[in-house]
């Protein structure tokens, strides 16, 4: 059985990504929402805890919360389900971590490594030989040139560009449309072209 944790807009994207791949979703799980989404019921986490075996895709946009939830459930023995849309392009040698979401139109270049729990959103490009840390979010239409390295829990905004072979630290936010032209340390937010600290 496969559940989706998160009954919001991102949950809908995960639902359609998984169902387009032929995966049947049992229910959504949410801490607050109830009712239905995409024609299936929304349950609380406590309602599924004893229904083994099952896997969960964590459809939470916030990187830190997604990391915490996936790690907590993994410690309980619940695996994270990976969602890859059939209209994404994944080149030979690329590796996708557990629980990641690869949406429609995404291009993952050859020999790229995507960490656990990442979101590679619509029409994003992560070119050859990139290394993407766990629980990063690459927003729609963002482009990472070949050989880019991202630390954990980075957010690369919609339409942003990171030039090839740069190294980005942990917990970095790159604003929408920004162009990153040099390496970035941990825990910074950058905006603009060229990207500068906010």
Where do runs of H (alpha helix) occur along the chain? Answer: 9-20, 63-75
In order, the DSSP letters of 48-93 are: TTTS-S-EEEE--SSHHHHHHHHHHHHHTT-PBPPEE-TTSEE-TT
Contact 2, 25 (CB under 8 A): yes
> Which residues are known binding-site members?
30-31, 61, 137
Catalytic residue among 10, 16, 122, 128: 128
**Phi-psi category of 192—alpha, beta or left, where left has phi over 0 and alpha has psi -120 to 50?**
left
Q: How far apart, in whole angstroms, are the C-alpha atoms of residue 190 and residue 6?
A: 28
Distance (Å) of CA 197 to CA 39, 129, 174, 191: 44, 26, 9, 6
With 0-12 / 13-18 / 19 or more C-beta atoms within 10 angstroms meaning exposed / middle / buried, residue 31 is exposed
Listing from the earlier edge strand, what are the strands of the sheet with 40-43?
Answer: 35-37, 40-43, 27-29, 2-5, 55-58
Active site residue 122: no
Q: Percentage helix, strand, coil, to 5, in the chain?
A: 15, 30, 55
> Which residues are known binding-site members for acetyl-CoA?
137
Active site residues: 128
């Amino acid at each position: 059985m496969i559940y989706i944790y998160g009954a919001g807009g991102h949950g809908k994207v995960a639902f359609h990504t998984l169902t387009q791949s032929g995966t049947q979703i049992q229910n959504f799980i949410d801490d607050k929402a109830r009712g239905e989404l995409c024609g299936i019921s929304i349950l609380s986490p406590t309602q599924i805890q004893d229904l083994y075996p099952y896997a969960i895709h964590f459809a939470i946009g916030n990187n830190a919360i997604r990391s915490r939830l996936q790690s907590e459930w993994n410690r309980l023995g619940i695996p994270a389900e990976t969602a890859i849309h059939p209209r994404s392009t994944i080149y030979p040698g690329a590796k996708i971590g557990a629980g990641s979401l690869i949406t429609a139109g995404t291009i993952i270049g050859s020999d790229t490594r995507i960490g656990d729990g990442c979101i590679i959103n619509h029409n994003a490009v992560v070119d050859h030989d990139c290394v993407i840390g766990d629980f990063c979010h690459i927003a729609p239409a963002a482009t990472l040139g070949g050989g880019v390295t991202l630390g954990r829990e980075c957010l690369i905004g919609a339409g942003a560009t990171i030039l090839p072979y740069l190294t980005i630290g942990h917990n970095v936010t790159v604003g929408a449309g920004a162009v990153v032209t040099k390496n970035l340390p941990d825990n910074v937010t950058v905006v603009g072209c060229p990207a500068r600290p906010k």
